[in-house]
Structure 1
């Protein structure tokens, strides 16, 4: 059978992946969840018919959203992940010996459970003793916890549905308050080719709150255009002020994407992306 999943984008382009079969299809109180078995890219997680990850290439997202802020901070003992229900970001965070506690606050428990069931290599850290999993509203959690975390990672879907509030200036103010005095926040920040309007709003909102705001890039085949960006917002440190280089060198051989060169190079932006900032 010639089965294909096609994700269509707003600018009259699309991405298609050849599929063997559907492993799971259901609906949580928040969104539609599908897990597909592809011919060549392993299993695929869809939320509301948008690709969240492929097993073959998820490392290009999860390593970059986690390791960049963690290595930029001199002592990230307490980390908060908002979203990240597939578990991939948590898997990367707990690799850091310096991290003593990682709280993960995901609103949709079904994403967690289905990831455990169907994506075990991604959802491999849920039993780690350093991880505290909460099925709760991340916006509410951040409001209730002030001056608590060294690093906050916003691993959200696009700014629609349950993630819409995670892109607003009021939320970033609460994130600022939830961070310690030298805290760093990183968030997935869409695509500079296709989603410039969303990015401009996002970075304007961040710059209204944080003194240091910039963008960095990763190249992820299953996202629109293959280029994806992240927002880096900090109270005190620029990414290159005091990175833990020796720790990067100790870890990078175990990783598939991130290394010392990538840490510095990912902040180099093409001119059309700089315009967003």
Structure 2
């Protein structure tokens, strides 16, 4: 018997992956958590039936959400990760010895527990002494912070269910307040390709632009995400993602990567015309 995981990407489009076996399936307090194993993509995590990551391509997402801001900000010491219970962003962050503290806020503790057991390739950094885990609502957590962090990574699920509050103007405003005077926020920005995803992307961009003086969008190719064309938001109080990127300093760190490099960093901000139009259409709307 052939077993397949299928995710709907658009009304007439689905992604299907043949499953060798299901390693975990349970309803937590917040969502359904499933872990599958496949020949093509290795192990993969889904939440409420939506793909979160696969062993085969997770490095693209996690390298791009972490190394882009780290190549720009000259002195990151304290980092807040909101979401990211799979541990991939933390794994990339702990490669920087200058980072003194990483606070991860994940609403669903069960996600971290499951990933520790079944996805050690992403969850391998949780035991680093600089990492502190908080199992609570990220929206409420960040609301209590003021000028605390150099970098905030919003590694959230899609803008519904447990992650819905992490796409509001209030949330982005609180992230601004929680950052130090030269802080950077990077968020997963959805896909611009299918209509429903593009609308969610536009809404997030509109709200971020109103909260930060510098707001840019960059892209990556992630095969198992809807359309494979994925965006990230770069929002900053002071640093520009291209003008302030220090190529020499980042290369001197000697961090081995499989996707990110400084040439790709620059190219990732060169967006297709249709994406530029989607962004410009909402930048000046009240």
SS at match of 2:265: helix
TM-score by length of 1: 0.97
Distance 1:247 1:11, change over 3 A: farther
SS at match of 2:12: coil
How far did 1:252 drift? 5.9
Distance 1:254 1:161, change over 3 A: same
How far did 1:117 drift? 0.2
CA distance in 2, matches of 1:131, 1:168: 27
SS at match of 2:123: coil
Aligned twin of 1:4: 4
Q: Is the 8 A contact 2:81 2:105 kept in 1?
A: yes
Aligned twin of 1:180: 180
Aligned twin of 1:260: 262
CA distance in 2, matches of 1:28, 1:36: 17
SS at match of 2:163: helix
How far did 1:253 drift? 5.7
SS at match of 1:254: coil
CA distance in 2, matches of 1:251, 1:33: 36
CA distance in 2, matches of 1:181, 1:253: 27
Structure 1 vs Structure 2 CA RMSD: 1.1
Aligned twin of 2:43: 43
Q: Is the 8 A contact 1:61 1:218 kept in 2?
A: yes
CA distance in 1, matches of 2:256, 2:133: 25
In the TM superposition, what whole-angstrom CA distance separates every residue of 1:78-99 from its partner, at most 9, and x where no partner exists?
1100000000011011111221
TM-score by length of 2: 0.94
In the TM superposition, what whole-angstrom CA distance separates every residue of 1:183-221 from its partner, at most 9, and x where no partner exists?
100000100101221111111111111111110001101
Aligned twin of 1:232: 234
Aligned twin of 1:111: 111
Q: Is the 8 A contact 2:95 2:255 kept in 1?
A: no
How far did 1:243 drift? 2.1
CA distance in 1, matches of 2:14, 2:106: 29
Aligned twin of 2:283: none
Structure 1, unpaired ranges of 5+: none
In the TM superposition, what whole-angstrom CA distance separates every residue of 1:45-84 from its partner, at most 9, and x where no partner exists?
0000001011011001011011111211111111100000
2:54 is equivalent to residue 54 of structure 1: yes
Q: State the number of aligned residues.
A: 277
SS at match of 2:124: coil
Structure 2, unpaired ranges of 5+: 280-286
How far did 1:276 drift? 2.3
Q: Is the 8 A contact 1:217 1:228 kept in 2?
A: yes
Q: Is the 8 A contact 1:73 1:184 kept in 2?
A: yes
CA distance in 2, matches of 1:69, 1:246: 15
How far did 1:177 drift? 0.3
CA distance in 2, matches of 1:251, 1:118: 31
Aligned twin of 2:272: 270
Q: Is the 8 A contact 1:203 1:276 kept in 2?
A: no
How far did 1:241 drift? 2.8
Aligned twin of 1:16: 16
CA distance in 2, matches of 1:251, 1:182: 22
